[in-house]
Structure 1
């Protein structure tokens, strides 16, 4: 039986990856700060050796926009080396090498650490999740008007489809950097905000707002998009409808 460690196993993506791998018959170890079996704070690294010992593959889903991803990756890579070098699968983001956003720069640094680690590795970049777009527009909708970044398009992808891809990669051999996984449609942010308002029955005026800075310019230029890899199938409207059925 294949033994696989999933970091960030209580998160949106990690939880689904762990479920799919168990369905495939793998022995899955779920690691997170709140895990009942493998409670590890990756930014400190304590307890990693026992979690990694004897695993065939590590799927690294844990991440934090608050920082520390490179430190966490360093601890994980060192533990993997001590454990004999399991296959390391890493989830990254389309545009980390094109959009000068601090979080993206950190994700690219982790990619480079993994590429230089000497471990057998697979790196999968995806476009933004539907969940992220929903979080942004639902938060903005609390205001009297709904502001969105002017001139920015997004290519959201379903986290379940990403979980399917990561599970398949985890059960395979190291493949290096694999083709991007993009959502089915490139959409104006304002259009996605409108879809959210229609799905929730809320009334707000969508107001495009021009922002400053190199990161905003990178997003306006589409550095975070991958239209040539629009292989996802679940649209944002379908995601919203499914979520509404589940919560309703």
Structure 2
């Protein structure tokens, strides 16, 4: 039986990866800051991390935070994996981290480089944004009387469970290097996503497109975060909204 460690195993993605691996008969260790017996803050490292990686066949590294510390966390994890002789490290990244000069994207790219130069067998999967992140963004915008949207920007949201299935499959295979990117089924304009969200949530807001400035905005407008040639996802944004909000509403 294969033993696999999932970092961030209680998060949106990591929890589903762990569930899928268990369903397929693998032994799964979940590492997070508060989950015993592998309660570890990766940013600090320590003896608990060595115990977590000891004897595992693969690590799926899902732990991340936009508040900073991902590079330090990855360095600690890689060092522990080297000491334990772990044969395979799988890392989840984001489409466009090498194109869009957003701070969080730059951090993800830096972690990719750490993984690639780790000396371990490795696999990196880049995907587009999850449906729930797009909804979180739109819900925040909709707190105002007018929903302001970045003019000319589209997105390609993907169902997180499909990403979890792909990660689980990669984890039990041989190291693959850069796996094929994974994008949602449709490239959608932000106004179309916003209208779908407002209908499902039972809200009414006028939409106002705002033209922004800067390198990051230009990269998003240019589609640097999209992968239309790898639109392999199946679940649509409307299907996600229906499941989350209980079907289309009128408000």
Quickly name the TM-score band, shorter chain normalised: over 0.9
Task: Verify: 1:219 aligned to 2:198, yes or no.
Answer: no
Shift of 1:210: 1.6
1:161-200 pair list within 5 angstroms: 161-200=162-201
CA distance in 2: counterparts of 1:137 and 1:238, whole angstroms: 17
Distance 1:240 1:96 in 2: 27
Q: Which residues in structure 2 correspond to 1:200-211 (within 5 Å)?
A: 200-211=201-212
Deviations 1:139-174 (A, max 9, x none): 111111111111100000000000000000011110
- Structure 1 stretch displaced more, 223-232 or 42-51: 42-51
CA–CA distance in 1 between the matches of 2:3 and 2:122? Answer: 16
Residue 10 (1) aligns with residue 10 (2): yes
SS of the residue 2:100 aligns to: coil
Q: d(CA) in 2 for partners of 1:25 and 1:153?
A: 39
Secondary structure at 2:184 match in 1: coil
Query: Which digits, 9 at most, give the CA deviation of each residue in 1:40-80, with x for residues without a partner?
Result: 11111122100000100000000111111111000000000
Gaps of 5+ in 2: none
Q: Which residue of 2 aligns with 1:43?
A: 43
Cα distance in 1 for partners of 2:4, 2:22 equals: 9
Offset from partner CA, 1:89-120 (integer Å, 9 cap, x none): 00000000011111111101111111111100
Q: Take 1:75 and 1:159, find their aligned partners in 2: how far apart are those partners?
A: 26
Give SS of 2:246's match. helix
Deviation at 1:5, TM superposition (A): 0.2
- Counterpart of 2:121 in structure 1 is 120
Pairwise CA RMSD of aligned residues? Answer: 1.2
- Mapped to 1, the partners of 2:240 and 2:86 lie a distance apart of 38
**How far is 1:36 from its partner?**
2.3
Larger displacement relative to structure 2 (41-50 or 74-83): 41-50
Q: TM-score, normalised by structure 1?
A: 0.97
Report the Cα distance in structure 2 between the residues aligned to 1:209 and 1:17, rounded to whole angstroms. 37
- The answer to whether the Cα contact below 8 Å between 2:58 and 2:89 also exists between their aligned partners in 1 is yes
CA distance in 2, matches of 1:123, 1:77: 14
Find the aligned partners of 1:85 and 1:53 in 2 and give their Cα distance: 8
Cα distance in structure 1, aligned partners of 2:181 and 2:230: 6
| 8 A contact 2:148–2:207 mirrored in 1 | yes
Deviation at 1:228, TM superposition (A): 0.1
> Aligned with 1:39: secondary structure?
coil
| Matches of 1:116 and 1:92, distance apart in 2 | 16
Gaps of 5+ in 1: none
Q: How many residue pairs end up in the alignment?
A: 247
